[in-house]
Amino acid sequence: MGDKHVDTPSDERSLATRIWGLLGSIKFAVGALLLIAAASVYGAMTPPAQATEKVWHSLWYRSLLGIILLSAVVCTVDRFDGVLKRIRSPRVGVATKVVQALRGYKRVRFKGTTEGAAAALTSHFSRARYSVLAENSEDGGVSLLARKGMSKLLGAPIVHVSLVVIIAATIWGVSPSLGSYRQVIQIREGEFTHERHSGIWVGCDDFEIVYSEETLSEPAHADIKTYYKVSEYISKVTFYEEVALAEAERIVETIPQTEPREGSDWPFTLAVEAKRDKGGVAPHIGGSLVGLRATDRAAIRVNQPAHVQGHDFYQQSCDIRALRVTVTTAKGARESHDISLRLDRERGVSYQPTLVPLLIEERGTSDGNDETPAMAQMPGRLVGVTAFAQRFEKGMPLTAGQHMAPSPAVRLEEISIDEAGQVLGQQLGWVQEGQAMSVGAGRFAFDETIYDTVLEVRRQPGVWLLIVGFAISGVGLILAFWVPMREIRAKIISQAGEVEVLFGIPRSYRGDDVSEIVAGAVKALRGVEPLEGSRRRAT
Protein backbone atom coordinates (compact mmCIF):
# COMPACT_ATOMS: atom_id res chain seq x y z
CA MET A 1 0.00 0.00 0.00
CA GLY A 2 1.20 3.44 -0.73
CA ASP A 3 1.47 6.34 1.69
CA LYS A 4 -1.76 6.99 3.53
CA HIS A 5 -3.28 10.32 2.50
CA VAL A 6 -4.73 12.40 5.31
CA ASP A 7 -7.42 14.77 4.12
CA THR A 8 -7.03 18.12 5.91
CA PRO A 9 -9.42 21.05 5.70
CA SER A 10 -6.81 23.26 4.07
CA ASP A 11 -9.43 25.16 2.09
CA GLU A 12 -11.31 26.01 5.26
CA ARG A 13 -8.13 27.17 6.97
CA SER A 14 -7.30 29.21 3.93
CA LEU A 15 -10.72 30.88 3.96
CA ALA A 16 -10.46 31.58 7.68
CA THR A 17 -7.02 33.05 7.17
CA ARG A 18 -8.27 35.30 4.38
CA ILE A 19 -11.21 36.49 6.50
CA TRP A 20 -8.87 37.15 9.43
CA GLY A 21 -6.52 39.11 7.20
CA LEU A 22 -9.42 41.11 5.75
CA LEU A 23 -10.78 42.06 9.17
CA GLY A 24 -7.31 43.09 10.34
CA SER A 25 -6.45 45.20 7.30
CA ILE A 26 -6.28 48.97 7.48
CA LYS A 27 -8.27 49.41 4.25
CA PHE A 28 -11.16 47.37 5.63
CA ALA A 29 -11.15 49.29 8.93
CA VAL A 30 -11.09 52.67 7.15
CA GLY A 31 -13.94 51.62 4.85
CA ALA A 32 -16.06 50.42 7.77
CA LEU A 33 -15.39 53.64 9.70
CA LEU A 34 -16.46 55.71 6.69
CA LEU A 35 -19.72 53.74 6.51
CA ILE A 36 -20.32 54.35 10.22
CA ALA A 37 -19.58 58.06 9.76
CA ALA A 38 -22.03 58.28 6.85
CA ALA A 39 -24.69 56.44 8.88
CA SER A 40 -24.13 58.78 11.83
CA VAL A 41 -24.53 61.83 9.59
CA TYR A 42 -27.75 60.33 8.26
CA GLY A 43 -28.94 59.76 11.83
CA ALA A 44 -28.10 63.34 12.79
CA MET A 45 -30.14 64.64 9.84
CA THR A 46 -33.11 62.41 10.64
CA PRO A 47 -35.79 63.94 12.92
CA PRO A 48 -35.11 62.85 16.52
CA ALA A 49 -38.48 61.12 16.82
CA GLN A 50 -37.57 58.84 13.90
CA ALA A 51 -33.78 58.58 14.25
CA THR A 52 -33.95 56.18 17.19
CA GLU A 53 -35.75 53.43 15.31
CA LYS A 54 -34.49 54.21 11.79
CA VAL A 55 -30.82 54.50 12.69
CA TRP A 56 -29.51 54.12 16.23
CA HIS A 57 -31.54 51.04 17.21
CA SER A 58 -31.81 49.58 13.72
CA LEU A 59 -30.38 46.17 12.90
CA TRP A 60 -28.22 47.46 10.03
CA TYR A 61 -26.57 50.12 12.22
CA ARG A 62 -25.82 47.62 14.96
CA SER A 63 -24.47 45.23 12.32
CA LEU A 64 -22.03 47.91 11.13
CA LEU A 65 -20.90 48.43 14.71
CA GLY A 66 -20.50 44.66 15.08
CA ILE A 67 -18.26 44.51 12.00
CA ILE A 68 -16.15 47.37 13.37
CA LEU A 69 -15.93 45.49 16.67
CA LEU A 70 -14.68 42.32 14.94
CA SER A 71 -12.12 44.32 12.98
CA ALA A 72 -10.89 45.98 16.18
CA VAL A 73 -10.61 42.62 17.95
CA VAL A 74 -8.59 41.08 15.10
CA CYS A 75 -6.31 44.10 14.85
CA THR A 76 -5.81 44.11 18.63
CA VAL A 77 -4.90 40.41 18.73
CA ASP A 78 -2.43 40.83 15.86
CA ARG A 79 -0.79 43.86 17.43
CA PHE A 80 -0.53 42.30 20.88
CA ASP A 81 1.01 39.17 19.42
CA GLY A 82 3.77 41.12 17.67
CA VAL A 83 4.39 43.45 20.61
CA LEU A 84 4.61 40.64 23.15
CA LYS A 85 7.09 38.79 20.96
CA ARG A 86 9.24 41.89 20.71
CA ILE A 87 9.11 42.46 24.48
CA ARG A 88 9.61 38.84 25.59
CA SER A 89 11.81 37.47 22.83
CA PRO A 90 13.67 40.32 21.15
CA ARG A 91 16.27 39.64 18.51
CA VAL A 92 19.59 40.12 20.29
CA GLY A 93 22.18 38.64 17.95
CA VAL A 94 22.60 40.66 14.75
CA ALA A 95 25.20 40.85 12.02
CA THR A 96 27.98 43.42 12.20
CA LYS A 97 26.64 45.29 9.18
CA VAL A 98 23.30 45.76 10.94
CA VAL A 99 24.99 47.59 13.83
CA GLN A 100 27.08 49.62 11.41
CA ALA A 101 23.93 50.80 9.64
CA LEU A 102 22.38 52.21 12.84
CA ARG A 103 22.32 55.87 13.79
CA GLY A 104 25.06 57.01 16.14
CA TYR A 105 27.39 54.20 15.06
CA LYS A 106 30.60 54.18 17.11
CA ARG A 107 33.59 51.80 16.85
CA VAL A 108 36.21 51.33 19.58
CA ARG A 109 39.14 48.83 19.89
CA PHE A 110 40.75 47.70 23.17
CA LYS A 111 43.15 45.14 24.54
CA GLY A 112 41.25 42.61 26.60
CA THR A 113 38.63 39.87 26.36
CA THR A 114 35.05 39.79 25.16
CA GLU A 115 33.94 38.55 28.59
CA GLY A 116 35.52 41.53 30.33
CA ALA A 117 34.06 44.01 27.85
CA ALA A 118 30.59 42.39 28.11
CA ALA A 119 30.70 42.52 31.92
CA ALA A 120 31.76 46.19 31.92
CA LEU A 121 29.03 47.20 29.47
CA THR A 122 26.35 45.19 31.29
CA SER A 123 27.25 46.86 34.59
CA HIS A 124 27.21 50.32 33.01
CA PHE A 125 23.87 49.90 31.26
CA SER A 126 22.29 48.38 34.37
CA ARG A 127 23.32 51.41 36.45
CA ALA A 128 21.54 53.57 33.86
CA ARG A 129 18.35 51.51 34.47
CA TYR A 130 18.60 49.60 31.21
CA SER A 131 17.75 45.92 31.03
CA VAL A 132 20.55 44.08 29.25
CA LEU A 133 20.30 40.92 27.15
CA ALA A 134 23.43 39.14 25.86
CA GLU A 135 23.82 36.48 23.23
CA ASN A 136 26.93 34.72 21.92
CA SER A 137 27.48 34.94 18.20
CA GLU A 138 28.66 32.13 15.96
CA ASP A 139 31.80 34.12 15.12
CA GLY A 140 32.85 34.06 18.77
CA GLY A 141 31.66 37.56 19.51
CA VAL A 142 28.95 38.76 21.91
CA SER A 143 25.85 40.78 21.00
CA LEU A 144 24.31 43.04 23.64
CA LEU A 145 20.87 44.67 23.61
CA ALA A 146 20.30 47.33 26.28
CA ARG A 147 16.81 48.78 26.49
CA LYS A 148 14.32 50.50 28.77
CA GLY A 149 10.79 51.95 28.54
CA MET A 150 9.50 48.93 26.63
CA SER A 151 6.03 49.53 28.08
CA LYS A 152 5.76 52.21 25.39
CA LEU A 153 5.21 49.40 22.90
CA LEU A 154 2.02 48.47 24.76
CA GLY A 155 0.52 51.93 24.15
CA ALA A 156 -0.93 51.26 20.69
CA PRO A 157 -2.35 47.79 21.55
CA ILE A 158 -3.94 49.19 24.72
CA VAL A 159 -5.60 51.93 22.66
CA HIS A 160 -6.91 49.16 20.39
CA VAL A 161 -8.30 47.38 23.46
CA SER A 162 -10.03 50.60 24.48
CA LEU A 163 -11.61 50.83 21.02
CA VAL A 164 -12.95 47.31 21.45
CA VAL A 165 -14.44 48.25 24.83
CA ILE A 166 -15.90 51.54 23.53
CA ILE A 167 -17.48 49.91 20.48
CA ALA A 168 -18.89 47.11 22.66
CA ALA A 169 -20.36 49.73 25.01
CA THR A 170 -21.88 51.55 22.03
CA ILE A 171 -23.51 48.35 20.75
CA TRP A 172 -24.82 47.73 24.26
CA GLY A 173 -26.19 51.25 24.37
CA VAL A 174 -28.15 50.96 21.11
CA SER A 175 -29.50 47.44 21.62
CA PRO A 176 -32.94 47.34 23.28
CA SER A 177 -32.57 43.59 23.71
CA LEU A 178 -29.58 44.26 25.99
CA GLY A 179 -31.44 46.70 28.23
CA SER A 180 -30.94 49.96 26.33
CA TYR A 181 -33.96 52.22 26.06
CA ARG A 182 -34.84 55.59 24.61
CA GLN A 183 -38.29 57.14 24.41
CA VAL A 184 -39.77 60.61 23.87
CA ILE A 185 -42.67 61.67 26.09
CA GLN A 186 -44.84 64.79 26.17
CA ILE A 187 -46.33 66.33 29.30
CA ARG A 188 -48.69 69.26 29.45
CA GLU A 189 -48.20 71.83 32.17
CA GLY A 190 -50.21 70.73 35.17
CA GLU A 191 -50.65 67.18 33.89
CA PHE A 192 -48.95 63.83 34.49
CA THR A 193 -47.37 61.09 32.41
CA HIS A 194 -46.68 57.47 33.27
CA GLU A 195 -43.66 56.31 31.27
CA ARG A 196 -44.39 52.62 30.92
CA HIS A 197 -40.91 51.23 30.37
CA SER A 198 -39.41 52.80 33.48
CA GLY A 199 -42.65 52.72 35.46
CA ILE A 200 -42.03 56.30 36.60
CA TRP A 201 -44.77 58.91 36.93
CA VAL A 202 -43.74 62.45 35.94
CA GLY A 203 -45.72 65.63 36.54
CA CYS A 204 -44.91 68.90 34.79
CA ASP A 205 -45.30 71.64 37.39
CA ASP A 206 -44.13 74.44 35.12
CA PHE A 207 -42.45 75.01 31.77
CA GLU A 208 -40.54 78.15 30.90
CA ILE A 209 -38.80 79.47 27.81
CA VAL A 210 -36.07 81.98 28.57
CA TYR A 211 -35.35 84.52 25.84
CA SER A 212 -32.26 86.66 25.44
CA GLU A 213 -32.07 89.89 23.50
CA GLU A 214 -29.56 89.93 20.66
CA THR A 215 -28.35 92.76 18.44
CA LEU A 216 -28.85 92.46 14.70
CA SER A 217 -25.67 93.03 12.71
CA GLU A 218 -27.67 93.83 9.57
CA PRO A 219 -31.21 94.78 10.64
CA ALA A 220 -33.92 94.34 8.03
CA HIS A 221 -35.79 97.33 9.47
CA ALA A 222 -34.07 100.56 10.35
CA ASP A 223 -35.94 100.95 13.64
CA ILE A 224 -35.54 97.35 14.76
CA LYS A 225 -31.97 96.56 15.81
CA THR A 226 -32.59 93.78 18.31
CA TYR A 227 -34.36 90.46 18.30
CA TYR A 228 -35.26 87.80 20.84
CA LYS A 229 -33.46 84.48 20.90
CA VAL A 230 -34.37 81.32 22.79
CA SER A 231 -31.59 80.74 25.32
CA GLU A 232 -33.05 78.12 27.66
CA TYR A 233 -35.83 75.61 28.16
CA ILE A 234 -36.66 74.78 31.77
CA SER A 235 -39.05 72.01 32.79
CA LYS A 236 -39.84 71.93 36.49
CA VAL A 237 -41.06 68.41 37.13
CA THR A 238 -41.94 66.13 40.02
CA PHE A 239 -41.35 62.38 39.98
CA TYR A 240 -43.88 60.12 41.66
CA GLU A 241 -44.32 56.53 42.72
CA GLU A 242 -47.66 54.79 42.51
CA VAL A 243 -49.28 54.07 45.89
CA ALA A 244 -52.68 53.16 47.27
CA LEU A 245 -55.30 55.90 47.08
CA ALA A 246 -55.48 56.11 50.87
CA GLU A 247 -51.72 56.87 51.06
CA ALA A 248 -51.56 59.18 48.06
CA GLU A 249 -50.42 62.79 48.13
CA ARG A 250 -52.15 63.36 44.80
CA ILE A 251 -54.85 61.44 43.00
CA VAL A 252 -54.92 61.58 39.21
CA GLU A 253 -57.27 60.22 36.57
CA THR A 254 -55.85 58.62 33.45
CA ILE A 255 -56.97 59.82 30.03
CA PRO A 256 -58.68 56.80 28.41
CA GLN A 257 -57.21 57.35 24.93
CA THR A 258 -53.68 56.82 26.29
CA GLU A 259 -54.28 53.83 28.56
CA PRO A 260 -52.53 50.56 27.59
CA ARG A 261 -54.55 48.35 25.33
CA GLU A 262 -53.88 45.33 23.18
CA GLY A 263 -51.97 46.14 20.01
CA SER A 264 -51.11 49.66 21.17
CA ASP A 265 -47.55 50.95 20.97
CA TRP A 266 -48.36 54.22 22.77
CA PRO A 267 -45.34 54.55 25.12
CA PHE A 268 -46.92 56.47 27.98
CA THR A 269 -50.19 57.14 29.79
CA LEU A 270 -51.43 60.69 30.31
CA ALA A 271 -53.36 61.73 33.39
CA VAL A 272 -54.94 64.83 34.89
CA GLU A 273 -55.65 65.88 38.44
CA ALA A 274 -58.73 64.01 39.64
CA LYS A 275 -61.77 66.14 40.42
CA ARG A 276 -63.35 66.13 43.82
CA ASP A 277 -67.03 66.53 44.50
CA LYS A 278 -69.29 66.08 47.50
CA GLY A 279 -68.94 62.33 47.28
CA GLY A 280 -65.14 62.52 47.23
CA VAL A 281 -62.80 61.71 44.37
CA ALA A 282 -64.38 59.90 41.45
CA PRO A 283 -63.61 59.45 37.73
CA HIS A 284 -65.04 62.21 35.56
CA ILE A 285 -63.60 61.44 32.11
CA GLY A 286 -63.93 57.66 32.08
CA GLY A 287 -60.38 56.93 33.20
CA SER A 288 -58.84 55.13 36.17
CA LEU A 289 -57.85 56.72 39.47
CA VAL A 290 -54.19 56.43 40.47
CA GLY A 291 -52.59 57.45 43.76
CA LEU A 292 -49.21 59.17 43.58
CA ARG A 293 -46.54 60.08 46.13
CA ALA A 294 -43.65 62.42 45.25
CA THR A 295 -40.16 60.93 45.32
CA ASP A 296 -38.03 63.64 43.72
CA ARG A 297 -38.15 67.05 42.06
CA ALA A 298 -35.92 68.52 39.36
CA ALA A 299 -35.51 71.45 37.01
CA ILE A 300 -34.52 69.87 33.70
CA ARG A 301 -32.58 72.03 31.27
CA VAL A 302 -30.96 71.32 27.92
CA ASN A 303 -27.88 69.14 28.54
CA GLN A 304 -28.72 69.05 32.27
CA PRO A 305 -30.79 65.88 32.65
CA ALA A 306 -32.44 64.48 35.76
CA HIS A 307 -31.27 61.04 36.91
CA VAL A 308 -34.02 58.92 38.44
CA GLN A 309 -33.95 55.17 39.15
CA GLY A 310 -31.33 54.40 36.52
CA HIS A 311 -33.05 56.51 33.85
CA ASP A 312 -32.01 59.88 32.44
CA PHE A 313 -34.63 62.51 31.59
CA TYR A 314 -33.37 65.01 29.01
CA GLN A 315 -35.00 68.26 27.91
CA GLN A 316 -35.51 67.85 24.17
CA SER A 317 -37.94 70.52 22.95
CA CYS A 318 -41.47 71.76 23.47
CA ASP A 319 -44.79 72.04 21.68
CA ILE A 320 -47.49 74.65 22.03
CA ARG A 321 -50.66 72.89 23.17
CA ALA A 322 -53.02 75.87 23.23
CA LEU A 323 -53.41 79.60 23.79
CA ARG A 324 -55.64 80.34 26.77
CA VAL A 325 -57.71 83.50 26.28
CA THR A 326 -60.52 85.21 28.15
CA VAL A 327 -63.32 86.97 26.28
CA THR A 328 -65.64 89.49 27.92
CA THR A 329 -68.70 90.11 25.75
CA ALA A 330 -70.54 93.39 25.42
CA LYS A 331 -73.13 92.05 27.86
CA GLY A 332 -70.48 91.37 30.51
CA ALA A 333 -70.29 87.60 30.13
CA ARG A 334 -66.81 86.12 30.67
CA GLU A 335 -65.72 83.04 28.77
CA SER A 336 -62.40 81.19 28.81
CA HIS A 337 -61.21 79.48 25.63
CA ASP A 338 -58.20 77.34 24.70
CA ILE A 339 -57.22 78.07 21.11
CA SER A 340 -55.50 75.03 19.63
CA LEU A 341 -52.76 75.42 17.06
CA ARG A 342 -52.09 73.08 14.17
CA LEU A 343 -48.41 72.35 13.65
CA ASP A 344 -47.23 72.84 10.09
CA ARG A 345 -44.96 69.79 9.70
CA GLU A 346 -43.63 70.88 6.32
CA ARG A 347 -42.39 74.23 7.56
CA GLY A 348 -41.02 72.71 10.72
CA VAL A 349 -40.94 75.51 13.26
CA SER A 350 -44.00 77.51 12.26
CA TYR A 351 -47.63 76.98 13.16
CA GLN A 352 -50.55 77.37 10.82
CA PRO A 353 -52.95 80.17 11.78
CA THR A 354 -56.14 78.94 13.42
CA LEU A 355 -59.34 80.96 13.02
CA VAL A 356 -61.63 80.83 16.05
CA PRO A 357 -64.75 83.07 15.80
CA LEU A 358 -65.55 84.58 19.20
CA LEU A 359 -68.64 86.74 19.71
CA ILE A 360 -67.53 89.86 21.55
CA GLU A 361 -70.06 92.43 20.33
CA GLU A 362 -73.11 92.14 18.16
CA ARG A 363 -75.21 94.69 16.31
CA GLY A 364 -78.57 94.58 14.63
CA THR A 365 -81.52 92.30 15.17
CA SER A 366 -82.15 88.75 14.26
CA ASP A 367 -85.90 88.39 13.87
CA GLY A 368 -86.53 88.40 17.60
CA ASN A 369 -83.38 86.49 18.50
CA ASP A 370 -80.82 88.96 19.86
CA GLU A 371 -78.44 86.37 21.29
CA THR A 372 -76.95 84.88 18.15
CA PRO A 373 -77.10 86.93 14.94
CA ALA A 374 -77.68 84.97 11.76
CA MET A 375 -74.70 86.00 9.66
CA ALA A 376 -76.35 85.07 6.40
CA GLN A 377 -79.53 87.05 7.10
CA MET A 378 -78.62 90.39 8.63
CA PRO A 379 -75.87 92.94 8.92
CA GLY A 380 -74.05 92.75 12.25
CA ARG A 381 -70.70 92.96 13.91
CA LEU A 382 -68.66 89.91 14.88
CA VAL A 383 -65.07 89.66 16.04
CA GLY A 384 -63.00 86.67 15.00
CA VAL A 385 -59.68 85.66 16.52
CA THR A 386 -56.78 84.33 14.49
CA ALA A 387 -54.10 82.62 16.58
CA PHE A 388 -50.61 82.85 15.16
CA ALA A 389 -47.42 81.30 16.55
CA GLN A 390 -43.85 81.27 15.29
CA ARG A 391 -41.08 79.73 17.37
CA PHE A 392 -37.28 79.79 17.16
CA GLU A 393 -37.31 82.71 14.76
CA LYS A 394 -35.95 86.22 15.19
CA GLY A 395 -39.34 87.60 16.13
CA MET A 396 -41.81 89.49 14.02
CA PRO A 397 -41.69 93.24 13.37
CA LEU A 398 -45.03 95.00 13.82
CA THR A 399 -44.64 98.69 13.10
CA ALA A 400 -41.72 101.06 13.30
CA GLY A 401 -40.02 100.80 16.67
CA GLN A 402 -41.96 97.72 17.79
CA HIS A 403 -40.79 94.17 17.93
CA MET A 404 -42.51 90.99 19.00
CA ALA A 405 -40.79 88.06 20.65
CA PRO A 406 -40.91 84.69 18.85
CA SER A 407 -43.49 83.44 21.35
CA PRO A 408 -47.11 82.95 20.21
CA ALA A 409 -49.29 85.95 19.54
CA VAL A 410 -53.00 86.39 18.79
CA ARG A 411 -54.23 88.54 15.96
CA LEU A 412 -57.72 90.03 16.33
CA GLU A 413 -59.81 90.67 13.27
CA GLU A 414 -63.18 92.39 13.09
CA ILE A 415 -65.50 90.52 10.79
CA SER A 416 -68.34 92.66 9.43
CA ILE A 417 -71.29 91.62 7.34
CA ASP A 418 -72.49 94.15 4.80
CA GLU A 419 -75.97 94.62 3.40
CA ALA A 420 -75.28 92.07 0.68
CA GLY A 421 -74.34 89.43 3.26
CA GLN A 422 -70.66 89.50 2.39
CA VAL A 423 -68.17 88.95 5.21
CA LEU A 424 -65.50 91.64 5.47
CA GLY A 425 -62.42 91.42 7.67
CA GLN A 426 -60.45 94.23 9.25
CA GLN A 427 -57.36 93.66 11.37
CA LEU A 428 -57.56 95.19 14.85
CA GLY A 429 -54.05 94.34 16.04
CA TRP A 430 -51.82 91.81 17.75
CA VAL A 431 -52.13 90.71 21.36
CA GLN A 432 -49.15 89.07 23.04
CA GLU A 433 -49.19 86.91 26.14
CA GLY A 434 -50.26 88.86 29.21
CA GLN A 435 -51.84 91.64 27.14
CA ALA A 436 -55.46 92.59 26.53
CA MET A 437 -57.37 94.65 23.96
CA SER A 438 -60.74 96.36 24.13
CA VAL A 439 -63.05 95.60 21.23
CA GLY A 440 -66.04 97.90 21.29
CA ALA A 441 -67.82 97.21 24.56
CA GLY A 442 -66.05 93.87 24.87
CA ARG A 443 -62.56 92.87 25.91
CA PHE A 444 -60.09 90.23 24.76
CA ALA A 445 -57.21 89.01 26.97
CA PHE A 446 -54.41 86.59 26.08
CA ASP A 447 -53.80 84.93 29.46
CA GLU A 448 -51.10 82.33 28.86
CA THR A 449 -49.54 79.83 26.50
CA ILE A 450 -50.06 76.19 27.45
CA TYR A 451 -47.00 74.14 26.55
CA ASP A 452 -46.22 70.48 26.20
CA THR A 453 -42.70 69.87 27.38
CA VAL A 454 -40.96 67.18 25.34
CA LEU A 455 -38.61 65.00 27.37
CA GLU A 456 -36.42 62.16 26.23
CA VAL A 457 -36.13 59.19 28.59
CA ARG A 458 -32.96 57.13 28.26
CA ARG A 459 -31.62 54.05 29.94
CA GLN A 460 -28.00 53.51 28.99
CA PRO A 461 -26.58 50.50 30.82
CA GLY A 462 -23.35 50.63 28.81
CA VAL A 463 -22.29 54.07 30.04
CA TRP A 464 -20.01 52.68 32.75
CA LEU A 465 -18.34 50.42 30.17
CA LEU A 466 -17.87 53.45 27.92
CA ILE A 467 -16.14 55.29 30.78
CA VAL A 468 -13.88 52.28 31.33
CA GLY A 469 -13.03 52.28 27.62
CA PHE A 470 -12.00 55.94 27.65
CA ALA A 471 -9.94 55.37 30.80
CA ILE A 472 -8.10 52.49 29.11
CA SER A 473 -7.56 54.72 26.09
CA GLY A 474 -6.00 57.37 28.33
CA VAL A 475 -3.56 54.82 29.74
CA GLY A 476 -2.60 53.70 26.23
CA LEU A 477 -2.06 57.26 25.02
CA ILE A 478 0.14 58.07 28.02
CA LEU A 479 2.29 55.01 27.33
CA ALA A 480 2.47 55.75 23.60
CA PHE A 481 3.35 59.46 23.80
CA TRP A 482 4.88 60.19 27.20
CA VAL A 483 6.91 57.10 28.11
CA PRO A 484 10.42 57.29 26.56
CA MET A 485 11.75 54.07 25.03
CA ARG A 486 15.46 53.55 24.34
CA GLU A 487 17.47 50.75 22.73
CA ILE A 488 21.25 50.45 22.32
CA ARG A 489 22.95 47.64 20.45
CA ALA A 490 26.56 46.61 20.98
CA LYS A 491 28.62 44.01 19.15
CA ILE A 492 31.82 42.77 20.85
CA ILE A 493 34.33 41.01 18.59
CA SER A 494 37.64 39.45 19.70
CA GLN A 495 40.55 39.49 17.27
CA ALA A 496 44.06 38.29 18.29
CA GLY A 497 43.92 39.51 21.88
CA GLU A 498 42.17 42.71 20.93
CA VAL A 499 38.51 43.61 21.49
CA GLU A 500 36.52 45.63 19.01
CA VAL A 501 33.20 47.10 20.26
CA LEU A 502 30.58 48.45 17.87
CA PHE A 503 27.74 50.63 19.20
CA GLY A 504 24.56 51.56 17.35
CA ILE A 505 21.29 53.36 18.13
CA PRO A 506 18.10 52.67 16.15
CA ARG A 507 17.23 55.60 13.93
CA SER A 508 13.73 55.94 15.38
CA TYR A 509 15.06 57.09 18.78
CA ARG A 510 15.89 60.74 19.27
CA GLY A 511 17.61 62.56 22.08
CA ASP A 512 21.09 63.18 23.40
CA ASP A 513 20.56 60.99 26.46
CA VAL A 514 21.24 57.79 24.48
CA SER A 515 24.43 59.24 22.99
CA GLU A 516 25.55 60.17 26.49
CA ILE A 517 24.92 56.60 27.66
CA VAL A 518 27.08 55.30 24.80
CA ALA A 519 29.81 57.79 25.65
CA GLY A 520 29.67 56.55 29.24
CA ALA A 521 29.90 52.98 27.98
CA VAL A 522 33.11 53.83 26.15
CA LYS A 523 34.53 55.26 29.36
CA ALA A 524 33.49 52.09 31.19
CA LEU A 525 35.92 50.19 28.96
CA ARG A 526 38.88 52.29 30.02
CA GLY A 527 40.18 49.39 32.12
CA VAL A 528 42.29 48.63 29.02
CA GLU A 529 44.08 51.21 26.96
CA PRO A 530 42.40 51.70 23.59
CA LEU A 531 44.51 50.92 20.53
CA GLU A 532 42.52 53.14 18.26
CA GLY A 533 40.38 56.17 18.88
CA SER A 534 36.70 56.14 18.27
CA ARG A 535 35.00 57.66 15.32
CA ARG A 536 31.39 58.74 14.92
CA ARG A 537 29.53 58.00 11.75
CA ALA A 538 27.66 60.89 10.23
CA THR A 539 23.92 60.43 10.21
Exposed e or buried b per residue across 39-62, where buried means at least 16 C-beta atoms within 10 angstroms of its C-beta: beeebeeeeeeebbeebbbbeebb
Mean pLDDT of 237-241: 95
- The whole-angstrom separation of Cα 234 and Cα 247 is 30
Q: How high does pLDDT run on average in the chain? A: 77
Q: Could you tell me if 185 and 309 lie in one domain?
A: yes
Classify residue 113: in a domain, yes or no. yes
Whether 446 and 459 map to the same domain: the answer is: no
Tell me the one-letter amino acid at 89.
S
Q: What are phi and psi of 528, to 5 degrees?
A: -125, 145
pLDDT for position 535: 42
More confident residue, 166 or 364: 166
Q: Above 80 in pLDDT, residue 175?
A: no
Q: Give the whole-angstrom CA distance, residue 408 versus residue 432.
A: 7
Question: How many domains does one find in the chain?
Answer: 4
Higher-confidence residue of 464 and 299: namely 299
pLDDT, residue 351, reads 57
What is the domain range of residue 418? 323-450
pLDDT-based confidence at 438, cuts 50/70/90? confident
Residue 294 banded pLDDT, cuts 50, 70, 90:
very high
Domain boundary among 467, 499, 514: 467
Residue 472 lies in a domain: no
Strands 403-404 and 396-397: antiparallel
Within a domain: residue 434?
A: yes
Is residue 214 within 8 A of residue 227, CB to CB? The reply is yes
CA separation, residue 308 to residues 23, 317, 318 (Å): 41, 20, 21
pLDDT per residue as tens digits for the range 199-211: 899 999 999 888 7
Residue 159 lies in a domain: yes
Same domain, 188 and 273: yes
- Same structural domain for residues 53 and 136? no
Last residue of one domain, picked from the residues 467, 498, 522: 467
The confidence band for 287, taking pLDDT boundaries of 50, 70 and 90, is confident
Residue 1 lies in a domain: no
Q: Same domain for 161 and 24?
A: yes
Residue 164 lies in a domain: yes
pLDDT, position 359:
66
Shared domain for 128 and 192, answered yes or no, is no
For the ranges 270-274, 360-364, 369-373, the lowest mean pLDDT is seen at: 369-373
d(C-alpha 272, C-alpha 188), whole Å: 9
Do 253 and 205 share a structural domain?
Answer: yes
Q: Is the dihedral of CA 366, 372, 373, 376 positive or negative?
A: negative
pLDDT of residue 474: 94
User: Does residue 80 sit in the same domain as residue 20?
Assistant: yes
How far is residue 472 from each of residues 60, 78, 158, 518, measured CA to CA in Å? 28, 19, 7, 36
211 within a domain of the structure (yes/no): yes
Return d(Cα 32, Cα 43) in angstroms, integer: 16
Q: Are 202 and 193 in contact (CB under 8 A)?
A: yes
Size (the chain), residues: 539
Is residue 369 located within the same domain as residue 409?
A: yes
- Give the pLDDT confidence score for residue 394 in this predicted structure: 46
Task: Please give the pLDDT value at position 314.
Answer: 93
CA distance 71 to 81: 15
Q: Kindly state whether residue 252 falls inside one of the protein's structural domains.
A: yes
* Residues 41 and 68 both lie in one domain: yes
Q: Specify the DSSP element, H or E, that contains 450.
A: strand 442-459
List C-alpha distances in Å: 287 to 192, 243, 263, 410, 519: 13, 17, 19, 34, 91
Distances (CA, A) of 324 to 168, 454, 476: 50, 20, 59
Q: Give the side-chain half-sphere CA count within 13 A for 539.
A: 12
In this structure, what CATH number is given to the domain that contains residue 106?
3.30.160.110
- 469/75 Cα distance (integer angstroms): 17
Q: What is the pLDDT of residues 500-518, one digit of tens each?
A: 888 888 766 655 566 777 7
Judged against a pLDDT cut of 80, whether residue 55 lies above it is answered with no
Helix (H) or strand (E) holding 384: strand 380-388
Domain termination site, one of 467, 501, 522: 467
367 plus 271 within the same structural domain = no
* Portion of the chain with pLDDT greater than 90, in percent: 14
Question: Does pLDDT of 466 surpass 70?
Answer: yes
Average pLDDT over every residue of 412-431: 75
Closest of 168, 232, 115 to residue 464, by C-alpha: 168
The rounded distance, in Å, linking the Cα atoms of 341 and 351 is 7
Residues 117 and 199 grouped into a single domain? no
